[in-house]
Structure 1
Amino acid sequence: MPARLELRFEGLREDPPIRDQYDLLLRIEARLVVEADGVVILDEPHFAIVELASQLSQWVSRGAATDFNYESMDAEEVILWFRNSAGAWDVGSDWNTTAVQGGLERADLIYAASEYLRAVPVQVQQQLRRDVSLLIKPSSGHTSR
């Protein structure tokens, strides 16, 4: 059975120069597609995938029990959100208000976030030779050092 929520990225690239951790957060980009139950919520060709991972990791490490709002330093709107609505979760984006998907379970969100959080530092290291692991908290809530 396919995942009910998927956050996938492709075409990883840097937007130089990268001088510090803020550049790592904002200047490592990829095409990001967020899909829920087969509906594309978000499809952005130039997306700061590390910044999203950083915020998602904080949400997961706090228990993933409250609403999640991804707000970039580069945008005014809430780019991606998960909202609890009477025990079920809605997923949407202020950038695409027609594609809200509801009825997801918390486990669907945690699974999708965890898969994304595993993939981002590995792919960034393999493809760009950049270590972004310190910007992304471990989803288990403890550090490995």
Structure 2
Amino acid sequence: MSSAGRLADSGLDIYQDGNIIRGRKVCIPDLFVGLEDLDEIPDEEGLGVDATRVPLVAEIVSPGKEAHRWDHIRKRRWYAQAGIPVYVVIDDFDDEGTGTVFSAPDPEKGTYATKTTVGYGTSVVIPDGPAKGLTIGEELTRA
């Protein structure tokens, strides 16, 4: 698992390609936010990071219907069932490109109560959860 950058003075870091563990299932997001010291939040078997300790995951959608279905439906359900507070999807292939922030998960239903979608070139602010107030700047979604 590699660090992609620190979130200033938060005790949190951004990671790439790490295993997020929920029960006996694993998901590997493109990015996730976790404690700077991941040794403090391992899963019971040491195979990755316990999903209950991950405040935010992000996926960048790859081309194709299957990738779209995977990131927009299957992973969204998986992350909501895991109780991950915020799920971000960056999608180059949705119209002119969109950034979507899902928040307020309902683990029993496998859904998120809140969805905010913006077109590329527009900033979006995480509305709630541990990453509340974090801005995904227009630089990340500029066409």
TMscore range, shorter length:
0.3 to 0.5
Q: TM-score, normalised by structure 1?
A: 0.32
The answer to which structure has the higher helix fraction is 1
Q: TM-score, normalised by structure 2?
A: 0.32
Q: Which has the higher contact order (CA 8 A, sep 6+)?
A: 1
